[in-house]
Amino acid sequence: MPSSAPTRPDATRARYEALLEVAQSIAAHRQLATLFADLGRCLGPLVSFDFICLTLLDEKERTVRLHILHTDRELVGAPPGPTPLDQSPTWYALQTGQPYYVPDAASEDRFPILRDLVRANRIQCFCILPLSTAQRNLGGLQFGSFQCDAYTLEDIDFMIHVARQVAVAVDNALNFETARAYEDQLARERDRLRALLEINNAVVTCLDTEPLFQAISRSLRQTFGLDYVSLLIYEKEIGAFRLHALDFPEGSGVIRERAVVPLDNTIVGEVYRTREGRFVGIEEAARSWPGTADIVSREGLQSIGCLPLITRSETLGTLNLGSRRAHFFTPEDGQYFSQVAGQVAIALENSFSYKRIEELNERLAEEKIYLEDEIRTDSRFEDIVGQSRALRAILKQVETVAPTDSTVMIYGETGTGKELLARAIHQLSSRRQGTFVKLNCAAIPTGLLESEMFGHEKGAFTGAIAQRIGRFELAHRGSIFLDEVGEIPLELQTKLLRVLQEREFERLGSSRTIRTDARLVAATNRNLSLMVEEHQFRADLYYRLSVFPLTVPPLRERREDIPLLVRYFVQQNARRMNKRISTIPAASMEALARYHWPGNIRELQNFIERAVIVSAGPVLQIPVRELKRGGGAVTSAGEVQTLAAAEREAIVRALREANGRVGGPQGAAVKLGMKRTTLQAKMHKLGIPNRG
């Protein structure tokens, strides 16, 4: 029990005056840290003590924690951590509402944790006063001395008054810190909600990946103070991730855009497979994913966050976050960043869908233009015409190779119908629903051939004012026919070989790899094997093209087909020119069959077209004597005259007879047996002025 020695009235008055000063001093404190610092100074003049402590109650955790306020000696042993209530004298004092005074610490055995601490520091007596208000229990105020029974009843009674003042100050400080923590939490939530709103706005307004990512990363870095944000997208074609977007202003360049990250043995691979986010420090990363840790540590990152980008149908990749501060991410961050990753996944899905739609629209536009060009071309073959043994043999080979996806190489002279065979291969294959795209390699300037084949990006070269889809991309899941393949320059043959072997390429001016599933049918009238020997054609490309070679016989080797072709072309041209030609003289047909046709079917087609033009009645008028072995048509004067010149002469003669009139009952069109618009088109093509 404490001694009952009286205290002098002047000493008592001084104490209460000092207590008033303490109350005024500690009332100004709103933070526990500054309150604790000032309590030791203020309480020194009031009570004789060698140390003073404060214990604060955590009712949720059912523990108390000791805070040393003042001591003249260095504390021996660390202050105990959170102490369970039933092992703390503070809880006993709070339960009884009375001070817990131990005049001789040597006799203390109820609370071992406190007993060991006071004995280790040679404390002989101590007193714990409950700290509470009308609303709640707060903890205890503990005085101690290196002397036994150092406090009287008056001292303890006075310390009770001190404890009441301290309780009010502690309660105010705790309330203030709770309010401030709540305000800070509200501010954090407000900032996070604002960031989510900004991200949502970006999702709604940005369809292009680059500005979308910039808006998202800027919001995240400003809200959380992140040093690093990136997007890794999984590409099935390469079986790995590619870094598609990077926001790392202070990076040294170790982490770069377009970098490839493997699926195995990486944090992104684990997150992608498990579809669960991870937040780790550099030490844990080094233990679990040494490769990942090596790269990020070289950039100075100490904390890493990785979240899956999950849509309704698939996992696109990962959202990656980083900070140069250790232990940067808190447990609460997981749920928030998962929401962010969900928004990013939606945004990416929208962006990819928009891009696919845009590419499909561009492709449809290109196909439309291409098909319109096809319609406007002068090739009028609808079917393969002929019954000769040579033709049947080649068609048998077409039937054999068409169902496969093998590359076909068609050899043949000019005008033998190589394109027609290529179309037949496409129509008989499983790709018939796809596009049949053709490209004459000899008709395109060398500098533009690569762009025609593989496309280009806007600004890839002078004059590239817009993005263009190449023929290989256009022929995806269809067939592409490269005519005059022997004219492809050597430097472009390497890229063509890569497309055939790996089925991938890049547009001019782009680093994005595009995969194509196009079947190649090539044709040439040149001797490729001889070109290989003369180093004008790559041997590896030659062998790759010659998987299944076909040789189209020239017309002179299938003369029995000439009558069928003649009748076909006569009917075709007569129908187009609105003429009726029902008779072909036998002598004329015999002459046509004997002629050796150096220009093959194309020459025959043009010759018959000219004959239909100049035929005024139902009988086909063929200038048989103009057929001359060696090519061309021959006039009576013996001068070589082209079909175009003969056609021009017939039109000019008809115009002269019609006094320059094109249309009308007495016009040149009627005399020539064709429509006015057809004649005008011919006149424009041949450069004949239209005067009526």
**Contacts of 251 by beta carbon, 8 Å cutoff, 6+ apart:** 228, 299
Exposed, middle or buried by CB within 10 Å (0-12, 13-18, 19+), for 13?
exposed
Positive or negative, the CA dihedral 133, 138, 143, 144 is positive
The confidence score (pLDDT) of residue 544 equals: 93
The confidence score (pLDDT) of residue 639 equals: 37
Q: Using one digit for the tens of pLDDT, what is the confidence trace for 476-495?
A: 999 999 999 999 999 999 99
Residues of the chain with pLDDT > 90: what percent?
18
Stronger pLDDT, 11 or 292, i.e. the higher one: 292
Residue 6 CA: distances (Å) to CA of 104, 137, 422:
21, 32, 122
Which stretch of DSSP H or E encloses residue 497?
helix 490-502
Residue 274 CB-half CA count within 13 A:
12
Task: Give mean pLDDT, residues 340-365.
Answer: 73
The confidence score (pLDDT) of residue 490 equals: 92
Task: Give mean pLDDT, residues 66-84.
Answer: 74
| pLDDT tops 60 at residue 300 | yes
The confidence score (pLDDT) of residue 409 equals: 95
What tokens does 165 get? 């003042």
Stronger pLDDT, 52 or 605, i.e. the higher one: 605
| pLDDT tops 50 at residue 165 | yes
Backbone dihedral angles phi then psi of residue 332, each to the nearest 5 degrees: -70, -20
Q: Say if CB 519 and CB 503 are below 8 A apart.
A: no
Q: Say if CB 505 and CB 513 are below 8 A apart.
A: yes
Torsion angle, CA of 247/252/256/261, rounded to 10 degrees? -100
**CB atoms inside a 10 Å sphere around CB 196:** 16
258 alpha-carbon distance from chain centroid: 10
Strands 125-132 and 278-281: unpaired
**CB atoms inside a 10 Å sphere around CB 137:** 18
| Lowest mean pLDDT across 124-133, 277-286, 388-397, 662-671 | 662-671
Q: Which of 195, 187, 190 is CA-nearest to residue 337?
A: 195
| pLDDT tops 50 at residue 641 | no
Alpha-carbon gap, residue 495 to 488, rounded angstroms: 11
3-class DSSP state for residue 211? helix
**Contacts of 392 by beta carbon, 8 Å cutoff, 6+ apart:** none
Q: Say if CB 86 and CB 108 are below 8 A apart.
A: no
What tokens does 236 get? 């099935």
Strands 137-145 and 125-132: antiparallel
| Lowest mean pLDDT across 107-111, 223-227, 433-437 | 223-227
What is the length of the chain? 692
Q: Say if CB 124 and CB 145 are below 8 A apart.
A: yes
> What domains does the chain contain, in order, with CATH numbers?
9-178 (3.30.450.40), 206-353 (3.30.450.40), 378-553 (3.40.50.300), 557-686 (1.10.8.60)
Residues of the chain with pLDDT > 70: what percent?
81
Per-residue pLDDT band for 365 (boundaries 50, 70, 90) equals: low
Alpha-carbon gap, residue 138 to 132, rounded angstroms: 5
Per-residue pLDDT band for 519 (boundaries 50, 70, 90) equals: very high
pTM (global) more than 0.85: no
What tokens does 158 get? 């006075």
Q: Say if CB 474 and CB 370 are below 8 A apart.
A: yes
DSSP 8-state assignment for residue 237: T
Q: Using one digit for the tens of pLDDT, what is the confidence trace for 608-640?
A: 998 999 888 888 888 777 775 444 443 333 333
Q: Which of 440, 313, 328, 430 is CA-nearest to residue 373?
A: 440
Q: Say if CB 307 and CB 277 are below 8 A apart.
A: yes
DSSP secondary structure letters along 271-336: HHHH---EEEEHHHHHHH-HHHHHHHHHTT--EEEEEEEE-SS-EEEEEEEEESSTT---TTHHHH
Q: Which of 519, 356, 516 is CA-nearest to residue 432?
A: 519
The confidence score (pLDDT) of residue 378 equals: 37
Q: Say if CB 518 and CB 478 are below 8 A apart.
A: yes
| Lowest mean pLDDT across 236-250, 327-341, 551-565 | 327-341
Instruction: Write out 105-169 in H/E/C secondary structure.
Output: HHHCCCCHHHHHHHHHCCCCEEEEEEEECCCCEEEEEEEEECCCCCCEHHHHHHHHHHHHHHHHH
**Contacts of 508 by beta carbon, 8 Å cutoff, 6+ apart:** 450, 451, 454, 455, 456, 457, 460, 461, 464
DSSP 8-state assignment for residue 561: G
Beta pairing partners, 515: 504
The confidence score (pLDDT) of residue 26 equals: 66
What tokens does 225 get? 């103070």
| pLDDT tops 60 at residue 526 | yes
**CB atoms inside a 10 Å sphere around CB 460:** 16
Q: Say if CB 677 and CB 690 are below 8 A apart.
A: no
Task: Give mean pLDDT, residues 602-606.
Answer: 90
Alpha-carbon gap, residue 636 to 455, rounded angstroms: 51
Alpha-carbon gap, residue 67 to 138, rounded angstroms: 13
| pLDDT tops 80 at residue 224 | no
Q: Say if CB 633 and CB 641 are below 8 A apart.
A: yes
Q: Say if CB 208 and CB 222 are below 8 A apart.
A: no
For the chain, helix (H) and strand (E) counts, in that order, are 23, 23
The confidence score (pLDDT) of residue 44 equals: 66
DSSP 8-state assignment for residue 275: -
Task: Give mean pLDDT, residues 581-610.
Answer: 88
Q: Which of 319, 267, 329 is CA-nearest to residue 296?
A: 267
Q: Say if CB 209 and CB 245 are below 8 A apart.
A: yes
| Lowest mean pLDDT across 446-450, 502-506, 640-644 | 640-644
652 alpha-carbon distance from chain centroid: 63
What tokens does 435 get? 């596009």
Residue 557 CA: distances (Å) to CA of 390, 552, 572:
7, 10, 24
Question: The tokens 């020997």 sit on which residue?
Answer: 533
Task: Give mean pLDDT, residues 652-680.
Answer: 81
Task: Give mean pLDDT, residues 31-52.
Answer: 71
Q: Which of 154, 215, 184 is CA-nearest to residue 13?
A: 154
| Lowest mean pLDDT across 176-180, 582-586, 602-606, 617-621 | 176-180
| Lowest mean pLDDT across 4-8, 270-274, 512-516, 538-542 | 4-8
